[in-house]
Amino acid sequence: MSSSGHGGSLQGVVLVGGEGRRLRPLTDTRPKPMMELVDRPFVAHQLDHLARYGVDDIIFSCGYRPDVLREHFGDGSDRGIRLRYVVDPEPLGTAGAVRNASELIEADRVLVFNGDILTDLDLAGLLDQHVSRGAEGTVALTPVEDPSAYGLVRLRDDRSVEEFLEKPSPDQLRPGEPYLINAGTYVLERRSLDRIPPGVKVSIERDTFPLIADDRLLYGYPSEAYWRDIGTPASYLDAHLDVLGGEVRTEAPGGPIHLGPGASVDPGATLVGPVSLGADVRVESGARVARAVVGAGCRVGREASVEGSILGRDVVVEDDAHLSDLVVAGDGARVPAGRAISGPASIPTGGEPASVGANQGDVSG
């Protein structure tokens, strides 16, 4: 169990139970946290983030396809951490999922991560404020220009939570106030779990936090740190480009051009960074790869182009095919020669384009 360095022991809980419906068909065979982000599963970046702050006792609270997580991460020993799993028998909501993990929570407090948030939030600062205020719960907050699509969190001068406003209308906003929304990272004291009824669906945002706030024990932690919800195809694609461009701190390979082991680029091809090529990728003569992540074993054919896109493993982009703003997450997919496809969209295994998500753009070819 980790010591928080703030007067108590600390564990991490990562909520990885969602089905990722907005990312279908990308998530038909894997949970959203296991979608690749540059060179590793998305949730591995969250484990890296926790490890930077010495949190080495972590629980995955699972729902959809927990087997995929277990097979990849095991008990965490190869990463130098203790990693355990609980599986919700049915969707229990964000608070219910934390409560379901309570038998494995032995620490004085827990850091809870939503499993679809990419951030490099200062966890030490979050914990410092939590302890110094004597808080029962602390919610990381991120600023937005327009809170109408979110839930506004309004704070008092001491940063205690005054109220939550779900998708506020203009007349509910105060002139000059900061527009802060829940950033999906929380600190909870162990005793908070007693507020959550076991075995039923409970929302931490709508049900649990208001109870703690009513007792003046819930605080907000505003932060300008990088923050992105990867829940849509467009945001998932942008997250790759942000990682490649150094917009967020990760352990992924840095630099404008990264070549994995065995990757080969023909002298007549063009790479325009940021670009990451996985192991054994081949980029052939006349091809152009720009602002893209190309998974291990892929081939980009002669005179083909891949721009602003993500390719899964073993994807073949045949000669003179052109991809832009596209997620090709189906391992082994084949893009026919001469085809031009734009997105955001995906090509699942089998090679037939399929639109992803409502209003996320049409596939044309």
Coil, strand or helix: which one is 272? strand
Distances (CA, A) of 132 to 126, 136, 158, 219: 10, 11, 11, 11
Which residue has 């105060």 as its token pair?
174
67, 167, 352, 365: which is the annotated catalytic residue? Answer: 167
Q: Taking the chain, what is the end-to-end CA distance rounded to the nearest angstrom?
A: 54
What is the DSSP secondary-structure string of 197-265? Answer: PTTS---IIIIIHHHHHHTT-EEEEE--S-EEE--SHHHHHHHHHHHHTTSS--SS--SSEEE-TT-EE
Give yes or no for a contact between 225 and 121, defined as CB atoms under 8 angstroms apart.
Answer: yes
Coil, strand or helix: which one is 324? strand
Active site (annotated) includes residue 167: yes
Give yes or no for a contact between 120 and 45, defined as CB atoms under 8 angstroms apart.
Answer: no
Give the residue numbers annotated as catalytic, written as ranges.
Answer: 167
